[in-house]
Chains A and B, each alone.
Chain A
Amino acid sequence: MSRHRVKNVGYDDDDYEDDEGYESPDPEEQEFLKQCTALVSQQLRAGQPSVNATTEEIQEALWHYYNDIEKSTSYLRGKKEKELKKQQTGAVPKKNGKQLDSVHLVIDFRGWAWANKLCSGCGFNSGDLPKTLELTPPGSLDNFLTGLPVPGFPALSSLPAAHFSAADFFRDSPWLNVPADRNMDIMVEPLYPRLGLLGGSPEAGGKVSKLAALAAARKRKEGEKATPTPTPTPDASSTPQPDKIEPSPPEPQSTPLSLRERLAASKSSKPETDGGVRKLGKPGFSGQGQAQEQPTPEPMQNPEFSLPEKAEPKDEPEPEQPSLDMRASPSGFASAIVGNAAGPTMAQPSHVQSNNVDLLRIYGQDHAEPFDFAGPSPDDMVLNAQNTAKGMKSKPAASKSAGDKKTPADLAGGLKDLSVDEKVSVKSKNLDVLAEYNKSKRKKSANFVVIGHVDAGKSTLMGRLLADQGAIDQRTLDRYRKEAEKIGKGSFALAWVLDQGSEERARGVTIDIATNKFDTESTAFTIVDAPGHKDFVPNMIAGASQADFAVLVIDSSTGKFESGLKGQTKEHALLVRSMGVQKIVVAVNKMDTVQWNRDRFEEIEQQIFSFLTTAGFQEKNISFIPCSGVLGDNISRRSDNAQASWYTGKTLIEELETSERYTHALDKPLRMTVGDVFRGSVQNPLSISGRLDSGSLQIGDQILTMPSGETALVRSVEVDGEPNDWAVAGQNVVLNLANIDPIHLRSGDVVCHASSPIPNIATFTAKVLAFEHLMPMMVDVHRGRLHVPGRISKLVASLDKASGEPSKKRPKIVAPGTVARVVIEMDQAVPLEAPTRIVLRHGGSTVAAGLLE
């Protein structure tokens, strides 16, 4: 049985291979390998005594010794010498193989069905089993049959009935699906016969000898002190045992040793190691087909079966080691059937082999003298013959080699996959993010928010900008146009680029902010399209908090400008100013509706200019552009309308490009306000988006989310939609998180590092500029996405605007336009720290904005 399992491993590797389409080995690596191989074979031949080794062997040795040519050479030489000595020893009888094999296979399958039933009862994911079978194309079933090892003893055929003891099944079933650490409880029991006994079994003589040979080889190797083959490491790391011993995820480097020692010392029972190996295989191949296949046969083991069971360690090498030999000097029969060079080269040793290596090392025993196995093993003969016949010659070997190559990384990756539901651990690359950032030659980037009164044409203007800049393809635009016309809102087509929500489209009103980006030659822009409607000012505040500068869109048509000025034009401008925006570009929109009337433009310019200067914008930071969003005039191209010829200034896009490079607080502690919490994809069930206010982060960072105080792990980072290893302040990012429950995350939360957490506070003092009367009253406190109810509990003092000195203590009421220091209490503690810009709103209007002290 155990032999089947081993074969299954190999077989499934194939499957995995074929299905997942692993890439072929790195060409560079191969080149290097070739060089090394040449060197080694040269040395082998040159040395005393001169020996020959196949490329496969050499490469395998190289792989084990990390391309250390000297060690590989000496190892190979030692091995070959042994082989030469033992040349005469007969090969294993092989004719009985095939028949037994099929018998065996039947058993095996029956076992599956059984296990399947049983396991479905005990919570094992039985759905997986049929899948495995499905995976097996008809042809490969045969292949599988043949692939089954030939047990070297006839007694086996009588055993099937004995296999199916329910107790046996149940004993092992938890194994199939249970977290690795728990498995070991079962696995550790020395239920199975000991190795010593196995090794001595006379019936399996031929096999044992191989095992012994390998063991000997191992021993020698160990003697050479070239010990740490790469394989043991992944082996042990994926072995469940370390988990059991130390609950934290094992440190791959340290545990293997201890494990090995422990095992060796206790002469660990075979199944245990077996389990370890299996475990290793499972994660390595993302725990799919193979994982299910393996376990099922396992339950069928019973003491009587100890023989084949024992043979396992030897079996495992078998697919690999014997094939090497075979390829070195195929028997006449083999070459007749297989032809030469049928088997592809083994670029690197298989993981199976490596497992095996580890096993033997673990046992630390050598029961038998090294055995000669120069000739092909009967199994391999049959296997190859079958493969040839089926035209699948290359499959096993190819798969093996690919699998080999993947082994270490794969195993580690697989282990991660396995344990996703418990704890995800992503290794931090420990980058110096700031250094990386300085290294990276990025375009100047700028975020701007588009503000203005409702229906000023903000979304349309931005839709036009995106379309002109090629960020939106014509087809999509045409589709929008068609759909918009269908519901009688043809003029909204451009706005639909940004208004993606169904409600927004139906109502023709932007509700929430939308971000989009486009690139010019010099700058990467991120647009934040804010809603203009009074009710959605909170959303607009969220948008403005992400902006470096603002584009104020004004409806120039008769009456609309005036009503806008009373409405959100002013409120928005004040808000962006109080949130720290310095530069403002005023797009006087819909100029086509007033026939590009220059007087109208100048009138608007004058009014808005005086307002903006009083609002605190500097003269040089204000610019005006007459344009038309619907027609696209003066957006990215100059208007060709004769009426508009009087305007010779910059177009909107030119004006945008004059924005200087904005600096951000890169070296401050990490702060990021969560803009949205969503399900990114199947791989990333929990993602948050937002803009880094300060600091930096990278993949693998532990972050703290406030106010919940929960930690999470940054699984991956996307900067402007592109995956990246890190992110710095000023960038718009999507973080894919792990190890946190989504209920702890809300938009408005703040992400920080545990080393410098942002405090949660329920009361704070702020210096605010009053836009309306302030008195002790209920207010909504806004900071970016953060929006919480609170109240002004105390008016500490009204301040002198120029000096900042208190002009009146404890005023009863603060008049609009005055600066005051107030104490604000909130119902719940929220993450805020000085200096933060906050906005206070009450009853749907902004009453004050200021700085937290």
Chain B
Amino acid sequence: MRLIKNRIEHGGSGMVTLCPEEPEDMWHAYNLIRPGDLIRASAIRRVTTTQDTGSTSSNRVHLTLEIRVKSLDFDPQSSQLHVSGQIINETAHTKIGQFHTLDLELNRNFTLEKEIGADGEGVGWDSIAVEQLKDAVDEGGKRRAEAVAVVMQEGMAHICFIGQFQTIMKQKIEMSVPRKRQGGGDHDKGMNKFFRVTLETLLRQMEFNTSITSGSNNESVRPVLLASPGFVATGFHKYIQSEASTTMPGLKRLLPSMVVVHSASGYLNSLSEVLQSPAVKALLSDTKYARETKLMDDFLDQLRKETNKATYGPREVESAVDQGAVGRGGGVLIMSNRLFRSQDVAERKRWVSLVDRVRDVEGGEVRILSSDHESGKRLEGLGGIAALLTFPVADDDLGSDEE
């Protein structure tokens, strides 16, 4: 995302103009835009006019509309963001108060304005939002490390794109492969068919040009991770090799960037294991994802040791912060960004203040994990919030009176 204009005032209100450049920027926009914000973007609106005679005609007009956001709809698969709300600027074709849904598009600027109302009905550009904006704005374009992972097992494959901030499950392939039977060759046939379908899908999702001629322009090929328990991934790799040497020579460009790794199952659960494998670590070192995964693993390790130096759950963490356990010298507050996406202003304020307090007052570290990553999903399971503590906090039965 490119930052075109930045007019954030000291108090927290202000506006920025952004230009999304790649699909993942839509995800950033999704996190930045909150209900209540003002957003201005170009739009196409169908306008129906009624003549005096009563005949109607409708035509599509290009407009620049400004709306007050009511709701957001994000489709991670296709990275499309629809923002709907009420129009607040008057144009020749629209009235104030009419509803409109803006489809944010790549390479089209939009302006986002957040304000702090007199009675605090808006939150403005709080620390989290500013941080998210920083994340979103790609400085120097070094954030390109992306990988495609195919997590598979017999008869099942998940093709996902691992980005900096999100893991998008692009497609799931499920196929019934006959098991081995006495004297039956169905299994091998079934596996071959499965590989064929998986490869076709993978190429389609990667938009990989298989023609041999397209290899000349030296486009960079994203690393492809093939992961499976047992020998499925190896078999798939072999299948691709044989395809490359026979029917699809264009695949040869893909082969060097392929890595076969082990995973415990063919489900996305095991993606974390995939990313922990040395081969992948070398490939994706220092991506945000890898850091997040590591953080989660550290936390879970700590939890397993039962040292009481790790805790999770909203109440537990808040109480730990109150006791000053998430402070200097190793205190880490881990939060899922889903919490900040809350519709409820008070809810968001609660979390933002917690973050600010840990960071500014206690001196602890704050990590916001993307809920669209595997690590973030693990965190979600723990209630979206967890903390590594500087000293053991007695495990009082906070939750026992709940429910």
Interface centre among A502, A675, A792 (most CB of B within 10 A): A502
Q: For the complex, what is the distance from the CA of A643 to the CA of B304, rounded to whole Å? A: 49
Tell me the smallest distance from the CB of A334 to a CB of chain B, in Å: 58
Q: Are B230 and A789 in contact (CB under 8 A)?
A: no
| Interface 1/0 per residue, B173-186 and A, CB below 8 Å | 01010111111101
Contact A678 to B179, CB < 8 A, known contacts A502-B188, A507-B231, A776-B381: yes
Q: Which residue of A lies closest to B229 (CB)?
A: A535
Q: Are A500 and B181 in contact (CB under 8 A)?
A: yes
Q: Which of A15-23, A482-490, A807-815 binds B?
A: A807-815
Q: For the complex, what is the distance from the CA of A460 to the CA of B377, rounded to whole Å? A: 44
Q: Are B181 and A813 in contact (CB under 8 A)?
A: no
Q: Are A812 and B229 in contact (CB under 8 A)?
A: no
A90 within 8 A of B: no
Q: Are B303 and A501 in contact (CB under 8 A)?
A: no
Contact A742 to B176, CB < 8 A, known contacts A502-B188, A775-B303, A777-B381: yes
Q: Are A780 and B267 in contact (CB under 8 A)?
A: yes
Q: Are A812 and B400 in contact (CB under 8 A)?
A: no
Residues of B within 8 A of A843 (CB): 264, 270, 273
Q: Are B183 and A500 in contact (CB under 8 A)?
A: yes
Residues of B within 8 A of A675 (CB): 179
Q: Which residue of B lies closest to A775 (CB)?
A: B303
Q: Are B265 and A538 in contact (CB under 8 A)?
A: yes
Docked complex: A744-798 residues within 8 A CB-CB of B? 745-747, 773, 775-780, 787, 789, 791-793
Q: Which residue of B176, B187, B229 contacts A746 across the interface (Cβ within 8 Å)? A: B176
A676 within 8 A of B: yes
Q: For the complex, what is the distance from the CA of A511 to the CA of B306, rounded to whole Å? A: 37
Residues of B within 8 A of A773 (CB): 303-304
Q: For the complex, what is the distance from the CA of A345 to the CA of B136, rounded to whole Å? A: 95
Contact A512 to B381, CB < 8 A, known contacts A810-B400, A813-B304, A841-B264: no
Docked complex: B231-247 residues within 8 A CB-CB of A? 231, 235
Residues of B within 8 A of A502 (CB): 188
Residues of A within 8 A of B263 (CB): 844
Q: Are A812 and B312 in contact (CB under 8 A)?
A: yes
Docked complex: A399-432 residues within 8 A CB-CB of B? none
Residues of B within 8 A of A533 (CB): 230
A216 within 8 A of B: no
Q: Are B381 and A678 in contact (CB under 8 A)?
A: no
| Interface 1/0 per residue, A206-238 and B, CB below 8 Å | 000000000000000000000000000000000
Residues of A within 8 A of B182 (CB): 500, 516
Contact A678 to B178, CB < 8 A, known contacts A778-B381, A812-B395, A844-B273: yes
Q: Which residue of B lies closest to A721 (CB)?
A: B182
Q: For the complex, what is the distance from the CA of A483 to the CA of B31, rounded to whole Å? A: 61
Docked complex: A293-346 residues within 8 A CB-CB of B? none
Tell me the smallest distance from the CB of A683 to a CB of chain B, in Å: 16
Tell me the smallest distance from the CB of A820 to a CB of chain B, in Å: 14
Q: Are A504 and B180 in contact (CB under 8 A)?
A: yes
Q: For the complex, what is the distance from the CA of A461 to the CA of B285, rounded to whole Å? A: 46
| Interface 1/0 per residue, B297-329 and A, CB below 8 Å | 000100110100001110010000000000000
B268 within 8 A of A: yes
Residues of B within 8 A of A507 (CB): 231
Q: For the complex, what is the distance from the CA of A500 to the CA of B174, rounded to whole Å? A: 24
B94 within 8 A of A: no
A503 within 8 A of B: yes
Q: Are B180 and A501 in contact (CB under 8 A)?
A: yes
Q: Are B178 and A813 in contact (CB under 8 A)?
A: no
Contact A813 to B303, CB < 8 A, known contacts A776-B382, A778-B378, A843-B264: yes
Q: Are B184 and A678 in contact (CB under 8 A)?
A: yes
Q: Total number of A-B contacts with CB less than 8 angstroms? A: 112
Chain B, interface residues (CB within 8 Å), range:
35 or more
Q: For the complex, what is the distance from the CA of A533 to the CA of B230, rounded to whole Å? A: 8
Q: For the complex, what is the distance from the CA of A675 to the CA of B267, rounded to whole Å? A: 20
Q: Are B400 and A775 in contact (CB under 8 A)?
A: no
B397 within 8 A of A: yes
Q: For the complex, what is the distance from the CA of A513 to the CA of B235, rounded to whole Å? A: 19
Q: Are B400 and A503 in contact (CB under 8 A)?
A: no
Q: Which residue of B lies closest to A513 (CB)?
A: B179
A536 within 8 A of B: yes
Q: For the complex, what is the distance from the CA of A507 to the CA of B272, rounded to whole Å? A: 28
B269 within 8 A of A: yes
Q: For the complex, what is the distance from the CA of A431 to the CA of B188, rounded to whole Å? A: 39
Residues of A within 8 A of B179 (CB): 512, 675-676, 678, 747
B141 within 8 A of A: no
Q: Which residue of A743, A745, A775 contacts B382 across the interface (Cβ within 8 Å)? A: A775
Q: Are A789 and B231 in contact (CB under 8 A)?
A: no
Q: Are A677 and B269 in contact (CB under 8 A)?
A: no
B140 within 8 A of A: no
B399 within 8 A of A: yes
Tell me the smallest distance from the CB of A538 to a CB of chain B, in Å: 7
Q: Which residue of A lies closest to B262 (CB)?
A: A535
Q: Which residue of A511, A676, A678, A779 contacts B231 across the interface (Cβ within 8 Å)? A: A511
| Interface 1/0 per residue, B58-77 and A, CB below 8 Å | 00000000000000000000
Residues of A within 8 A of B (CB): 500-504, 507, 511-512, 514, 516, 533, 535-536, 538, 675-679, 742-743, 745-747, 773, 775-780, 787, 789, 791-793, 809-810, 812-813, 815, 841-845
Sorted nearest first, the 7 A-B pairs with minimum C-beta distance are A844-B264, A535-B229, A678-B178, A789-B267, A778-B269, A676-B179, A776-B381
Extra pairs beyond A780-B264, A841-B265 (11, CB < 8 Å): A502-B188, A503-B231, A503-B235, A511-B230, A678-B179, A743-B176, A745-B176, A775-B312, A778-B377, A789-B269, A812-B303
Residues of B within 8 A of A (CB): 174, 176, 178-184, 186-188, 229-231, 235, 262-265, 267-270, 273, 300, 303-304, 306, 311-313, 316, 377-378, 381-383, 395, 397, 399-400, 402
What are 27 residue pairs bridging A and B, where the CB atoms are less than 8 Å apart in the complex? A500-B181, A501-B180, A533-B230, A535-B262, A536-B229, A675-B179, A676-B181, A678-B181, A678-B186, A747-B176, A773-B304, A775-B304, A777-B300, A777-B378, A789-B268, A809-B397, A809-B399, A809-B400, A812-B303, A812-B312, A815-B306, A841-B264, A842-B269, A844-B229, A844-B263, A844-B264, A844-B273
